[in-house]
Structure 1
Amino acid sequence: VTLIRAAAKNFEDVAVVVAPEDYPSILKELEISQGQLALETRRRLALTAFQHTAGYDTMISSAWNEGQRPGAAGLEKFPRRLAVALDKVQELRYGENPHQRAALYARAGSGGRPPFEQLHGKELSYNNLLDAAGTWEAACEYPEPAAVIFKHVTPCGVATGKTLLEAFDRAWACDPLSAFGGVLAVNRPFSKEIAELLANRFVEVITAPEFEPEALELLKKKPNVRLLVRRDPPTHDVQIRTVGAEVLVTEPDRMTFGDSLKVATRRPPTKEEEAALRFAWIACKHVKSNAIVLTGPDATVGIGAGQMSRVDSVHMAGVKYKNFLRDHPAPDPLVLASDAFFPFKDGIEAAATLGISAVIQPGGSIRDAEVIQAADEKGLAMIFTGMRHFRH
Structure 2
Amino acid sequence: MTKRALISVSDKSNIEAFAKGLIELGFEIISTGGTLKALKTAGISAQAVEKITDFPEILDGRVKTLHPYIHGGLLADRKNDKHEAQLKEYNITPIDLVIVNLYPFQEALANENTTDADKIENIDIGGPTMLRAAAKNFANVAVIVDPTDYTDILQALKQDTLDQNKRLELAGKVFRHTAHYDALIAGYFNEQTGTQYPDTYSVTYEKVQSLRYGENPHQEAAFYKQAKAVSFSLATANQLHGKELSYNNIQDANAALEIIAEYKEPTAVAVKHMNPCGIGVSDSIVNAFEKAYEADSISIFGGIVACNRPVDGNTATLLREIFLEIVIAPSFTQEALDILTEKKNIRLLEVLVEQGKSDSKKITSVTGGLLVQDQDNGMADENDWTFPTKRKPSEQETADLLFAWRAVKHVKSNAIVLAKDNQTVGIGAGQMNRIGAANIAIEQSGDKANEAVLASDAFFPMPDTVEAAVKAGVTAIIQPGGSKRDQDSISVCDDHGIAMVYTGMRHFKH
Query: Is TM (by shorter chain) over 0.5?
Result: yes
Q: For CA contacts below 8 A with separation 6 or more, give which structure has more relative contact order.
A: 1
Task: State the Cα deviation string for residues 81-121 of structure 1 (Å, max 9, x = none).
Answer: 1111222111112201111111011223549x922121211
CA distance in 2, matches of 1:391, 1:215: 35
Report matched runs for 1:312-391 at 5 Å. Answer: 312-322=436-446, 325=447, 330=448, 333-391=451-509
Aligned-pair distance for 1:20? 3.4
Structure 1 residues 110 and 15, CA, compared in 2 at 3 Å: closer, same or farther? farther
1:85 and 2:204 aligned = yes
Structure 1 residues 120 and 201, CA, compared in 2 at 3 Å: closer, same or farther? same
| Contact 1:336–1:358 (8 Å) recurs in 2 | yes
Report matched runs for 1:271-286 at 5 Å. Answer: 271-286=395-410
Task: State the Cα deviation string for residues 298-342 of structure 1 (Å, max 9, x = none).
Answer: 0101111111111111110011101xx4xxxx4885111110011
* Identity %, equivalent residues: 46
Aligned counterpart in structure 2 of residue 12 of structure 1, from 104, 115, 139: 139
CA distance in 2, matches of 1:15, 1:85: 25
Structure 2: give runs of 5+ residues left out of the alignment. 1-127
| Contact 1:181–1:202 (8 Å) recurs in 2 | yes
Report matched runs for 1:88-167 at 5 Å. Answer: 88-110=207-229, 114-167=235-288
Residue type of the alignment partner of 2:212 = R
Which residue of 2 is the match for residue 70 of structure 1? none
Structure 1: give runs of 5+ residues left out of the alignment. 68-72
CA distance in 2, matches of 1:14, 1:232: 48
Which residue of 1 is the match for residue 45 of structure 2? none
CA distance in 1, matches of 2:346, 2:370: 34
Aligned counterpart in structure 1 of residue 177 of structure 2, from 38, 52, 60: 52
CA distance in 1, matches of 2:296, 2:168: 55
CA distance in 1, matches of 2:320, 2:353: 28
Structure 1 residues 93 and 351, CA, compared in 2 at 3 Å: closer, same or farther? same
Task: State the Cα deviation string for residues 60-81 of structure 1 (Å, max 9, x = none).
Answer: 11110111xxxxx31x321111
Task: State the Cα deviation string for residues 198-237 of structure 1 (Å, max 9, x = none).
Answer: 2221111111111111111221121221111111547331
Secondary structure of the corresponding residue to residue 335 of structure 2: helix
CA distance in 2, matches of 1:189, 1:372: 43
CA distance in 2, matches of 1:338, 1:348: 10
- Across the two proteins, how many residue pairs are aligned to each other? 378
Residue type of the alignment partner of 1:305 = A
Secondary structure of the corresponding residue to residue 144 of structure 2: coil
Aligned-pair distance for 1:152? 0.6
Aligned-pair distance for 1:21? 3.5
| Contact 2:257–2:353 (8 Å) recurs in 1 | no
Residue type of the alignment partner of 1:79 = P
CA distance in 1, matches of 2:441, 2:362: 29
Aligned-pair distance for 1:26? 2.8
CA distance in 1, matches of 2:146, 2:493: 64
| Contact 1:297–1:333 (8 Å) recurs in 2 | no
CA RMSD of aligned residues (A): 1.9
CA distance in 2, matches of 1:256, 1:115: 26
CA distance in 2, matches of 1:23, 1:211: 41
Secondary structure of the corresponding residue to residue 150 of structure 1: strand
Structure 1 residues 30 and 221, CA, compared in 2 at 3 Å: closer, same or farther? farther
Aligned-pair distance for 1:19? 2.2
Aligned-pair distance for 1:24? 4.1
Residue type of the alignment partner of 1:228 = L
| Contact 2:450–2:474 (8 Å) recurs in 1 | no
CA distance in 2, matches of 1:28, 1:158: 57
TM-score by length of 1: 0.92
CA distance in 2, matches of 1:379, 1:85: 54
